[in-house]
Amino acid sequence: MSRKVRIRLNGRVVEALEGATILDVARNEGIYIPTLCYSPLLRPLENCRLCVVHVTGERQYKAACSTPVAQDMEIITESEELQKTRKLLLELLLDTHYGDCVAPCTLTCPANVDIQGYLALIRHGEYREAVRLIKEKIPMPAVIGRVCPHPCETVCRRLLVDEAVNINHCKRFVADYEMSSGQRILPNVPRHSGHYVAVIGGGPAGLSAAYYLRGLGHAVTIYEEREELGGMLRYGIPEYRLPKKVLNWEIEGILSLGVEVRKGVRWGKDFTLDDLMRDGHEVIFLAIGAWAARKLGVVGEDLAGVTRGVDFLEQIAKTGRMERVKGKRLAVIGGGNVAIDAARSALRMGAREVSILYRRSRNEMPASHEEIEAAEKEGVNIHYLLAPTGIMEGNGSAIKVECIRMELGKPDASGRRRPIPVEGSQTVREVDEVISAIGQYSQIPDPESDIFMSQLPVTRWNTIGGDPRSMHTGKGTVFAGGDLFRGPSTVVAALADGRKAAYSIDRYFQFGKVESEPLHFNISKGDLDSIDQEPFSVMKTISRESMPELDATQRVQGFQEVELGLSEDQVKREAARCLECGCSAAFDCRLRELMNEFQVDWRDQPSKKIHYQRVAAVDVHPHIALDPNKCIRCERCNVACAVFQCSDAIVLKEWPRFNERCVECGLCVDLCPTGALMERRDGRVVHRLDWRTVETHCVHCGCGCRVDLKVKGERLIWISDGYEGPPNWASTCERGRFGTYDSLWFGERLTSPMVRTKGRLKEVTWDEALAAVIEGFSRAREQHGAQSIAALASPVASNEALYLLQRWMRSVQKSNNIDFPGRQQREKMLTLLEPFRNLKGANFCMEDISRAQAIFLLGDDVETTAPVVATMVRRASRKRIPVWRIATGSDTLTSFATVAVEAPQSSWNEILWQIAEAVARGMGIPQSRLREAGFSPVASDAASGGPNVALAAKIEAIQQGFGEARSVAFLMTDSLMNQEETARAAEAFLKMAWVTDRLDAGQGGGILSLTPTVNSSGALLMGISPGRLPGFVPLSDAAGAKRCADAWQTDAIPDQPGQGMEEFLKSRKTKALYLQNAASLWRAEPEQWKKLLKKIDFLVIQDDIPSPAVDLAEVVLPSAAFGEQGGSVFNQERRFLEIREAFPPAGKALPDWEIMKALMVLEKTKVPVDLEEIRAEICSAAPELADNFQHS
């Protein structure tokens, strides 16, 4: 036992185990030391040096990850100098890192919407998930998809290839998809927090704040001056751009979260801020917009024929009429969207001629270029570099507008070139009406109307000042946003302000202080001018999808929406044009996390390390994407592959390179602290900030590894190894790591129940499908007897589903014809192991392999059957643990074997007897113990063809190893039970384990049989066997049969053993078959299964994916896939493992156990209603399993 030492850690005396590292001790004491290259799975690497600490008496800082503590050591982990050193080290690391944390489109978007993410989801048809992702940042995507000026598209790097991605119209498509479905995507509102917020103004900023505040559980009341909510969205944007039905849909969704509304009340007239505070509102968010029009500042602007642009648009919005402009000539002064909207609306109201007068050039015009082009197509005349200098009454009702030509000088404060009058260029234009639209401002109550106004920071532009990140005004608990805060701006900026304010308000409620949304560090390859242009020059050009529109002549006839929306084919093609500039590791990148922690400045880094052609040459792994420009040479991947995974598949020189030894476990991806190594996943979403992690267990082999499903909304995005714990201790394999993702993202699925009618499968309801199953099985039983019915279960199905299936077969169908593929091998193996269950090494687990002093393998298929066990064996070998192997030939494990015996399977039994005899002789084990175990004398050398010197030497080496090892792990596979000769070898193997007495599990000794399917043990324990009941109880056990009959509330269950799989499938007497997981069987042996299943008159298939077997079925029942359902399994260790639901099933698919429950309910059979009740019944029928289920 290690002795303890006393150290002083940050001035505090601490006891620690001698030899423990400073980092270990600090973590045990709850003291944080930053690390980057450190991993508990690996030896200390010391490459990043971020964990440096000051040790008294040492001239240099010491790495905490590798420095052991010693008696009286004094350590300082935190100081200003240490922080400076760590920050410098990070900046040096950054010098070698080239990439984009986040795509430029997202950075440019005022709301920072994950554009790359939702385009990826659109590519795969995940429209609802795309909406869900968008709504994390903006709550009104259908609105913003119509009115956003999309600054994101101006920085799209696709511009360096051809044209920018049509981002905004892709957003509109998915928002319209949600709207047309009628199924709103809204946040789940948590329990009321007890906090109350008043929002003044029902425009975009106010609505956004209300949406996000309700999503956080806070009560919200909106105070709105006008008759309806929406602000400028309703009264300032015409119907042809934003239909009211779209706006109403969005607003109704927000209000459905429980937002209260008071309409027709005006701040400063009907209430003050103090009034709201007295009414119980703890926080106020000001979002009244900008409704007052700025004056032209010229003589005559108050004449009767001059109208403010916002007033003009509001009147049309309210009444739908503007009779006075019919047949008239109009001049619209201004260049923003209000001016354009007023001009286009005037044409629709029957104006004879509409001209826009703008004092700058087209390039400086603030209106979006699409709106300018649309106005021109519709017949609006736009006169650039022309400014009004006066307005006068003309002849009759006419108005004369005096104008002067302008020329552009140097840029002003807005960044646009300042217009300068051209002397002597005055002109006069005669019109009937003038619409002034040069800008708006907010009408804020004065201190006489609301005394609180004297405290608020009002700017000279009549906006409310404050922090642009938290939206806090700096006074009390008052926040502001939208046009009131920033002046007339965009709808997307107002929506972003509302969200930012909601976040800050929530933090105030939680912690009593205002905190803004975190600002995450970003590194960029540069803007469109500074980025390396060469990679874009070789990309294939793809035309941008154009928005279908009404013909210009149709548009001006009314206010019908002009833009008709992209089609589904168009939007998928457009989303596929995205270059995926942002890093997929952006929000779980450890390097970026540390940059945030140490407040390292953002930077553009346009100088790459490695030419893009060289990157393409090395980025060839089928499942792992390599970007050497992001590599910081921490070496975690290389060391993990060599020391933990023991595949030696990564060579690290300038950057990681994979060789042919890679087993695709994905460990390097999990350990990479940057985006240098990532899953190669087409369409993977970049944004990881708030992904859910669902802990579950893999179902792809008998190991049942703990894995973490990373879920966004209702979609699996990626998978990581679980944690350093049982059963797999942070190891994974290709099937669990990458296979699940591929099957769920790219595989076809069965999504609706189907019944064959007139020779063709047709989609039906669940009740109709299950009724067809009942009818078909009842008909077969009535006409041919219970022996004509059979069920072939899946060893991947949950315990609960398997239990209900055999219960249905036995209690309702009265048949014991129940089996699952691989049952005979597993049952034989468990039967063989049964006498050893009372030995101390019988309950051997995978984790015990690491403690074994020697490992003995029997069989050819350890790697393919249980890849993680093979990794554990390799790891043990690297630690110089002897590994002995008997197999027919060499494979990936051969080079790790200390002694590898390669021989035909027919000789394995004899070889094992020779080894047993030699070990017994060397260990002094009496011959009587060999005879007791059933060993008989081995044939002589002469009888077996003469001495085998090489084999004798290997047997001697194994014998010596047994003498030196106090514990031996005996590992074999279920496949040994397929043939009689290998089954005898397996039996001899177990006898040797007993004879040699090396089964001390505490020391790593024991027996483990490896099985290729996750729940083959569970299937047997649930009673999926023609001769066994739940609990692995023989059918002949009267007490066990009575327990089952009592639990199932049936008089009796059939007592004669049924037929196994081979018998009932080949028997022509089998008329009805219930088949689970047909696809996997068909893939393995298509011709055989086609021949067998064709004989069945009534075939029911329950599966999650289609296969040709479906074409033979009378009824198809779609089952939930892995990740879509809960339940449990027993892995090859007979360890009880929970399988958890992470996202809902595809289409109308149901969890496997729910299908069986629904079937029995329809038959009027009393059945447990949920997993908890099913498990309780299992424990009643098989009390020996109670410990497993009751501790679940």
Look up the CATH number of the domain holding residue 906.
3.40.228.10
DSSP string, 798-866: -HHHHHHHHHIIIIIS----EE-TTHHHHHHHHHHHGGGTTSTTTT--GGGGGG-S-EEEESS-HHHH-
Residue 15, C-beta contacts closer than 8 angstroms, at least 6 positions apart:
4, 5, 6, 7
Cα–Cα dist 1163/770, whole Å: 9
- Contacts with 838 (C-beta within 8 Å, 6 or more apart), sequence order: none
Distances (CA, A) of 765 to 356, 754, 861, 1145: 60, 8, 44, 16
Q: What are the start-end ranges of the E strands in 309-426?
A: 329-333, 353-357, 381-383, 386-393, 399-411, 417-421
- Residue 1066 predicted with pLDDT over 80: yes
Residue 940 pLDDT more than 60? no
pLDDT of residue 374: 95
613: exposed, middle or buried (Cβ count in 10 Å: 0-12, 13-18, 19+): exposed
User: Domain range holding 220?
Assistant: 196-291+443-511
Q: Count of alpha carbons within 13 Å of 1014, Cβ hemisphere only?
A: 23
Alpha-carbon gap, residue 841 to 853, rounded angstroms: 14
Which of 715, 716, 682, 710 has the alpha carbon at shortest distance from 580?
Answer: 682
35, 376, 380, 734 from 344: Cα distances, Å: 60, 9, 7, 59
Structural domain contains residue 520: no
The owner of tokens 């009818």 is 775
pLDDT at res. 948:
80
Helices 1171-1181 and 1038-1048, interaxial angle, to 10°? 150
The residues, any chain, with a CB within 8 Å of residue 880's CB and separated by 6 or more, are none
Q: What is the dihedral of CA 978, 979, 983, 985, to 10 degrees?
A: -130
CATH number for the domain harbouring residue 1166: 3.40.50.740
Distance CA 905, CA 901 (A): 11
Q: Determine the 3-state secondary structure of 711 from DSSP.
A: strand
Q: How much is the average pLDDT of 672-686?
A: 77
- Copy the structure tokens of residue 479: 């926040």
What's the pLDDT at 614? 81
- Reduced to 3 states (helix: H, G, I; strand: E, B; else coil), residue 404 is strand
For residue 266, give the CATH number of its domain.
3.50.50.60
Look-up of token digits 């007052």: 292
Calculate mean pLDDT across residues 987-1003: 85
Domain boundary among 716, 746, 776: 746
CA triple 448-450-456, angle to 5 deg: 110
Name which of 677, 681, 684, 737 is nearest 706 in CA terms.
737
CA nearest 479: which of 223, 205, 255, 193?
Answer: 205
Q: What is the per-residue pLDDT for 969? A: 94
Rounded Cα gap, residues 768 and 784, in angstroms: 24
High-pLDDT (> 90) share of the chain, %: 79
Residues 694 and 711: beta-carbon distance below 8 Å: yes
Q: What is the pLDDT of residue 944?
A: 44
Residue 607 parent element (H or E): none
Q: Which of 38, 60, 94 is the last residue of a domain?
A: 94
- Mean pLDDT score, 770-797: 97
Specify the pLDDT at position 941.
45
Q: What is the mean pLDDT of residues 473-499?
A: 97
Claim to verify: residue 304 and residue 279 sit in the same structural domain:
no
pLDDT > 90? residue 730: no
Give me the count of residues in the chain: 1192
Alpha helices, H only, 5-162: 22-28, 80-94, 104-108, 115-123, 127-134, 141-147
State the DSSP string of 775-796.
HHHHHHHHHH-GGGEEEE--TT
Residue with tokens 């109201």: 349
Residue 1142 lies in a domain: yes
Last residue of a domain, one of 412, 441, 470: 441
Contacts of 409 (CB under 8 A, 6+ apart): 417, 418, 419, 420
The DSSP element (H or E) to which 658 belongs, if any, is strand 656-658
How much is the pLDDT for 274? 96
For residues 1043 and 1135, membership in a common domain is answered with yes
The amino acid that residue 676 corresponds to is A
Identify any residues that bridge with 1084 across adjacent strands, giving them in sequence order.
none
Q: Which two tokens stand for residue 1054?
A: 């059939």
Which residues, listed in sequence order, are joined to residue 883 by a DSSP beta bridge? 855
DSSP per-residue codes, 265-320: --BTTTB-HHHHHHTT-SEEEE-----EEPP--SBTTTSTTEEEHHHHHHHHHHHS
Q: What is the DSSP string of 750-774?
A: --S-EEEETTEEEE--HHHHHHHHH
Instruction: Convert the pLDDT of each residue in 1049-1063 to its tens digit.
Output: 998 899 999 999 999
Distances (CA, A) of 902 to 765, 890, 950: 57, 7, 11
Phi, psi dihedrals of residue 1101, rounded to the nearest 5°: -115, 125
Share of the chain above pLDDT 70, in %: 96
Verify that 626 and 685 share a domain, yes or no.
no
- Measured between alpha carbons, how far is 753 from 1158 in angstroms, rounded to an integer? 13
Residues 577 and 618 both lie in one domain? yes
Average pLDDT over residues 513-527: 92
Q: Give the residues across from 198 on adjacent strands.
A: 221, 284
Co-location of 805 and 874 in the same domain = no
pLDDT tens track for 1115-1169: 999 999 999 999 999 999 999 999 999 999 999 999 999 999 999 999 999 999 9
Tell me whether residue 547 is in a domain.
yes
Give the distance from CA 119 to its chain's centroid: 15
Total Cβ atoms within 10 A of residue 947: 11
Answer yes or no: do 1080 and 1160 share one domain. Answer: yes
Q: Are residues 993 and 907 in the same domain?
A: yes
At 668, which helix (H) or strand (E)?
A: helix 667-671
Total domain count, the chain: 7
What confidence score (pLDDT) does residue 558 get? 92
For residue 838, name the pLDDT band (cuts at 50, 70, 90): low
Task: Look at strands 1072-1076 and 789-792 and give their pairing.
Answer: parallel
Verify cis geometry, omega within 30 degrees of 0, for the bond prior to 622.
Answer: no
Tell me the pLDDT of the chain averaged across its residues.
92
Flag whether the pTM goes above 0.75. yes
Amino acid type, 237: I
Query: Do the Cβ atoms of 406 and 375 come closer than 8 Å?
Result: no
Which pLDDT score, from 0 to 100, does residue 935 have?
76
Inside any domain, residue 830: no
3-state secondary structure 151-176: HHHHHCHHHHCCCCCCHHHHHHHHHH
Per the listing, tokens 């999808």 go with 545
Distance CA 403, CA 1016 (A): 88
Indicate if 719 and 810 belong to the same structural domain: no
> CA angle 983-986-992, nearest 5°?
145
Residue keyed to tokens 């002995």 = 884
3-state class (DSSP) for residue 544 = coil
Same domain, 1038 and 1128: yes
Alpha helices (H) along 481-632? 483-486, 491-511, 534-537, 552-555, 568-575, 590-597, 612-618
CATH number at residue 697: 2.20.25.90
- Structural domain includes residue 141: yes
- Sort 751 into a burial class: Cβ within 10 Å, 0-12 / 13-18 / 19+: middle
Determine the Cα–Cα distance for residues 989 and 970; give it in Å rounded to an integer. Answer: 8
215 and 170 in a common domain: no
Check residue 1004 and give its pLDDT. 84
Q: Where are the alpha helices (DSSP H) in 908-1021?
A: 908-923, 927-933, 949-964, 980-996, 1016-1021
Given a cut of 70, is residue 1187 above it in pLDDT? yes
Give the tens place of pLDDT for each residue, 23-55.
Answer: 999 999 999 999 999 998 888 988 999 999 999
Residue 907 has pLDDT above 70, yes or no: yes
Give the CATH number, domain containing residue 69: 3.10.20.740
The answer on 430 and 300 residing in a single domain is yes
CA end-to-end span of the chain: 35
Per-residue tokens: 328: 């008239």
Is 600 part of any domain?
Answer: yes
Average pLDDT over residues 126-147: 95
Q: What per-residue confidence (pLDDT) applies to 712? A: 79
Is 374 part of a structural domain of the chain? yes
Shared-domain flag, residues 976 and 898:
yes
Per-residue pLDDT, 337:
93
The HSE-up count of residue 517 (CA atoms within 13 Å, CB side) is 16
Does the residue 518 lie in any domain?
no
